[in-house]
Amino acid sequence: MAPRDEPWTAAARRVLPAMRAWRSAFHLEPELSLEEERTREKVVAALEELGIPPRTFPGFTGVIATIGTDRSGPVVALRADMDALPVTEETGLAFRSKFPGKMHACGHDVHMACLLGAAAILSRDGGPRGGPVRLLFQPAEEQGERGGALPLIERGALERPKVDYVVGQHVDPSLPLGQVGWRSGPFMAAADRFHITVRGRGGHASSPHQGPDAILVASEVVVGMQALVSRVRDPLDPVVVSVGSVHGGTRHNILPDEVVLEGTVRTMRPATRAQMESALRRRVRSIAASLGARVRLQYVHGYPTLVNEPAATRAVAEALAVELGRANVVEVDHPLMGAEDFSRYLERVPGTFLRLGVGVPGKPASLHSATFAPDERALVIGAATLATAVEGLQRSPP
What is the average pLDDT value for the chain, to the nearest integer? Answer: 96
User: 239 pLDDT exceeds 60?
Assistant: yes
- 1 pLDDT exceeds 50? no
pLDDT of residue 128: 59
Q: Is residue 2 over pLDDT 50?
A: no
Q: Is residue 125 pLDDT above 80, yes or no? A: no
| pLDDT at residue 346 greater than cutoff 70 | yes
Mean pLDDT value of segment 138-164: 97
For the question of residue 303 being annotated catalytic, the response is yes
Residue 299 and residue 311: Cα distance in Å, rounded? 35
Nearest alpha-carbon partner for 394 in 340, 347, 359, 351: 351
Burial of 125 (0-12, 13-18, 19+ CB in 10 A): exposed
130, 391 Cβ separation under 8 angstroms: yes
List, for residues 305-340, the tens digit of each pLDDT value.
Answer: 999 999 999 999 999 999 999 999 999 999 999 999
pLDDT of the residue at 126: 55
- pLDDT confidence band for 365 (50 / 70 / 90): confident
Output the CA torsion 100→170→138→299 (10° steps).
Answer: -80
Residue 40, burial from CB neighbour count under 10 angstroms (0-12, 13-18, 19+): buried
Find the catalytic residue in 141, 142, 165, 303.
303
Indicate whether 362 pLDDT > 90. no
Q: What does the pLDDT look like over 275-293, one tens digit per residue?
A: 999 999 999 999 999 999 9
96 residue type, one letter? R
Instruction: Read off the pLDDT of each residue in 270-278 and give the average, rounded to a whole number.
Output: 97
pLDDT of residue 4: 65
For 190-301, CATH gives: 3.30.70.360
Please give the pLDDT value at position 398.
Answer: 85
Query: What pLDDT was estimated at residue 106?
Result: 98
- Beta-bridge partner residues of 168: 79, 353
Q: What pLDDT was estimated at residue 363?
A: 85
The domain spans of the chain are 8-187+305-395, 190-301
At the fourth CATH level, which superfamily is domain 8-187+305-395?
Zn peptidases (3.40.630.10)
